[in-house]
């Protein structure tokens, strides 16, 4: 059997037991942390995550059964229960409460090591199964609703789900356009049917055409057999045309025809195929600009834009940042089989003040990295600073601002970013900041409180 090295929390009120079990595990190459009762163990669990907990049952202050329940409530860490008073009843009770295994004292080194390996292997399988389930269902819940824009968006999704009209979702990269498209499909009467996505920017015009409409055998060199396109694969369901602005003009005409007449032909065929497909398109470009530049057909735009939906940038709905952050911390920690690190109040403020040019995707990626690299520690402003590419609130390495071209921020955004930048640059000297910005320190303090800036 391959032995997996683990970090184990040993909980027992007898010094001798803690020491001898600790010695057995260390000798086998495992990391060991010890605690003398349930309460002490909980403290250790707050500090870091463990791969397994081995606990005695009878202990002062908090016994093993209570500890077991609390560990289970926290997450997936397996718990092996050890007791000298091994009656059948306590064993059953412990297993019911979710113990991974039950070992009776006295036990030999080989026995406890084998039980530990078994528990670790099982925990890993459970974790993998949970990850697979999540991947397979792609049922990532859509988080949000603290801000009025998100509440409106969710209501719009519900309404749009009841119609078959084409939806055009616009928004900066990473704002959740695909998540929204999936949510519309999932709330629609088509939910049992396929959801199929095509990235229009990823393929050349020729390949995209056969990808969308399919082709007959021999339609072009390399077409060795008939192939169904995405329109046919999505039959009865929803087709997502991702980054629709990138479709080649020639193909735009064909797409327009499907949207108008609901029929198309496979490449190399003249036989019409009827498409019963609800189309959703996304764009992170300004389509009006594309139309003016002659790169996008206006008639196609009107066909796509029957139900327009605009996803706001994350910095335009800052109330959503913390709920999303906590959700991502939980999710990625669970994936790794760890306890989610906690955000300290100044860490939360740093997340809220940051500009998030990459929107929700950047937030998720940042928190995933934090889960991997900083587990077992409180995430404070100092830790976060190292992960946020542009220093808090729009202060770039080069100087103030750093808004992307074409982005017009609100005055309040600029004001907050400027204050965060000034505070950082001037080392938090409020008198100096107020003087430079031409405001009173009283006003400055009020805004620092309002935006939870690092004063
Ligand atoms: N409201 C939300 N709740 C939970 N997760 C979200 C939410 N919005 C976005 N995400 C997550 O953020 C990431 C980016 O979302 P998505 O792929 O939908 O963005 P996009 O707008 O399509 O981006 P792009 O323009 O780059 O394709 C995904 O991992 C998604 O799961
Ligand atoms: Mg996308």
140 lines ligand 1 (CB under 6 A): yes
State the closest ligand 1 atom to the C-alpha of 360, by its place in the atom list counted from 1: 12
**DSSP 8-state assignment for residue 341:** P
State the closest ligand 1 atom to the C-alpha of 363, by its place in the atom list counted from 1: 12
Q: What is the reported pTM?
A: 0.66
Assigned superfamily of 7-137: Response regulator (3.40.50.2300)
Cα-to-centroid distance, 310 and ligand 1 (Å): 14
Cα distance between residue 338 and residue 147, in whole Å: 30
State the closest ligand 1 atom to the C-alpha of 176, by its place in the atom list counted from 1: 18
- Contact at 8 Å (CB) between 379 and 341? yes
State the closest ligand 1 atom to the C-alpha of 179, by its place in the atom list counted from 1: 18
**Token reading at 244:** 């629709």
pLDDT at residue 372 in the model: 83
Considering the chain, tell me which residue range(s) the CATH 1.10.8.60 domain(s) occupy: 317-451
419 lines ligand 1 (CB under 6 A): no
Q: Which of 49, 39, 45, 35 is nearest to 6 (CA)?
A: 49
- Contact at 8 Å (CB) between 406 and 286? yes
Give me the half-sphere count of Cα atoms (radius 13 Å) on the Cβ side of residue 421.
Answer: 20
State the closest ligand 1 atom to the C-alpha of 327, by its place in the atom list counted from 1: 4
- Contact at 8 Å (CB) between 160 and 307? yes
147 lines ligand 1 (CB under 6 A): no
- Domain 317-451, architecture per CATH: Orthogonal Bundle (1.10)
By most ligand atoms within 8 Å of CB, the mutation choice from 174, 186, 245 for ligand 1 is 174
- Contact at 8 Å (CB) between 227 and 186? no
pLDDT of 235 higher than 50: yes
What pLDDT, in 10s, does the model give residues 211-229? 999 999 888 887 788 889 9
Place of tokens 């021999």: 218
pLDDT of 432 higher than 70: yes
Query: Considering only the top CATH level, what class is 148-312?
Result: alpha beta
Considering the chain, tell me which residue range(s) the CATH 3.40.50.2300 domain(s) occupy: 7-137
The bridge status of strand 52-56 relative to strand 79-83 is parallel
176 lines ligand 1 (CB under 6 A): yes
Cα distance between residue 65 and residue 76, in whole Å: 16
199 lines ligand 1 (CB under 6 A): no
Higher pLDDT, 159 or 414: 159
177 lines ligand 1 (CB under 6 A): yes
pLDDT at residue 417 in the model: 83
Cα distance between residue 255 and residue 267, in whole Å: 13
**Token reading at 298:** 């206006």
pLDDT at residue 1 in the model: 47
Alpha helices in 305-358 (DSSP H): 321-336, 345-353
Centroid of chain to Cα 226: 38
Residue 96 to residues 69, 72, 81, 92, 442, Cα–Cα distance (Å): 10, 11, 12, 6, 59
Cα-to-centroid distance, 360 and ligand 1 (Å): 6
Cα distance between residue 238 and residue 279, in whole Å: 6
Cα-to-centroid distance, 174 and ligand 2 (Å): 7
Region at 236 (left for phi over 0; alpha for psi -120 to 50; beta for the rest)? left
Residue 421 — very low, low, confident or very high, per pLDDT cuts 50/70/90?
Answer: confident
Region at 452 (left for phi over 0; alpha for psi -120 to 50; beta for the rest)? left
Cα distance between residue 124 and residue 336, in whole Å: 9
Residue 103 sits at φ, ψ, to 5 deg, of -125, 135
361 lines ligand 1 (CB under 6 A): yes
What pLDDT, in 10s, does the model give residues 30-50? 999 999 999 999 999 888 889
pLDDT at residue 41 in the model: 94
Place of tokens 């940038």: 313
Sign of the torsion angle spanned by Cα atoms 162, 166, 171, 177: positive
Cα-to-centroid distance, 338 and ligand 1 (Å): 24
By most ligand atoms within 8 Å of CB, the mutation choice from 168, 320, 360, 369 for ligand 1 is 360
Give the other-Cβ count within 10 Å of 152's Cβ.
11
118 lines ligand 1 (CB under 6 A): no
pLDDT of 190 higher than 70: yes
Cα-to-centroid distance, 197 and ligand 2 (Å): 10
What pLDDT, in 10s, does the model give residues 358-410? 899 999 999 998 888 887 678 998 888 888 864 444 434 456 666 666 667 77
pLDDT at residue 263 in the model: 93
Residue 449 — very low, low, confident or very high, per pLDDT cuts 50/70/90?
Answer: confident
Q: How many helices (H) and strands (E) does the chain have?
A: 19, 12
């Amino acid at each position: 059997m391959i032995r997996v090295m683990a970090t184990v929390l040993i909980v027992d009120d007898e010094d001798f037991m803690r020491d001898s079990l600790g010695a057995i595990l260390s000798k086998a190459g495992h990391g060991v942390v010890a605690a003398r009762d349930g309460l002490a163990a909980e403290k250790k669990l707050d500090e870091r995550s463990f791969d397994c907990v081995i606990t005695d049952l009878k202990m002062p202050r908090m016994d093993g059964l209570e500890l077991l329940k609390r560990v289970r409530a926290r997450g997936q860490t397996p718990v092996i229960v050890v007791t000298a008073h091994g009656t059948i009843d306590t064993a059953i009770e412990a297993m019911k409460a979710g113990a991974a295994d039950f070992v009776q004292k006295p036990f030999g080194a080989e026995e406890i090591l084998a039980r530990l390996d078994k528990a670790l292997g099982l925990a890993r399988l459970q974790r993998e199964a949970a990850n697979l389930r999540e991947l397979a269902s792609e049922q990532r819940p859509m988080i949000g609703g603290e801000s009025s824009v998100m509440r409106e968006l969710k209501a719009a999704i519900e309404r749009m789900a009841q119609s078959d009209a084409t939806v055009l979702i616009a928004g900066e990269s990473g704002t959740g356009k695909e998540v929204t498209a999936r949510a519309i499909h999932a709330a629609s009467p088509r939910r049992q049917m396929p959801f199929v996505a095509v990235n229009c920017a990823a393929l050349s015009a020729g390949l995209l055409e056969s990808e969308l409409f399919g082709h007959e055998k021999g339609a072009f060199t390399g077409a060795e057999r008939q192939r169904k396109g995405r329109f046919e694969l999505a039959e009865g369901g929803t087709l997502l045309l991702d980054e629709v602005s990138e479709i080649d003009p020639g193909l735009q005409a064909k797409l327009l025809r499907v949207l108008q007449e609901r029929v198309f032909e496979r490449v190399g065929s003249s036989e019409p195929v009827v498409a019963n497909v609800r189309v959703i398109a996304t764009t992170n470009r300004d389509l009006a600009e594309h139309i003016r530049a002659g790169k996008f057909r206006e008639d196609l735009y009107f066909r796509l834009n029957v139900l327009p939906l605009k996803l706001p940038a994350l910095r335009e709905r800052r109330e959503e940042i913390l709920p999303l952050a906590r959700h991502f911390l939980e999710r990625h920690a669970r994936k790794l089989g760890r306890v989610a690190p906690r955000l300290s109040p100044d860490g939360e403020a740093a997340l809220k003040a940051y500009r998030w040019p990459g929107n929700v995707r950047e937030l998720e990626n940042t928190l995933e990295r934090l889960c991997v690299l900083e587990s077992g520690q409180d995430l404070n402003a100092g830790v976060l600073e190292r992960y946020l590419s542009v220093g808090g609130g729009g202060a770039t390495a080069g100087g103030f601002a750093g808004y992307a071209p074409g982005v017009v921020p609100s005055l309040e955004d600029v004001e907050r970013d400027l204050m965060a930048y000034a505070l950082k640059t001037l080392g938090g000297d409020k008198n100096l900041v107020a003087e430079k910005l031409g405001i009173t320190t009283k006003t400055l303090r009020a805004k620092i409180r309002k935006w939870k800036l690092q004063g």
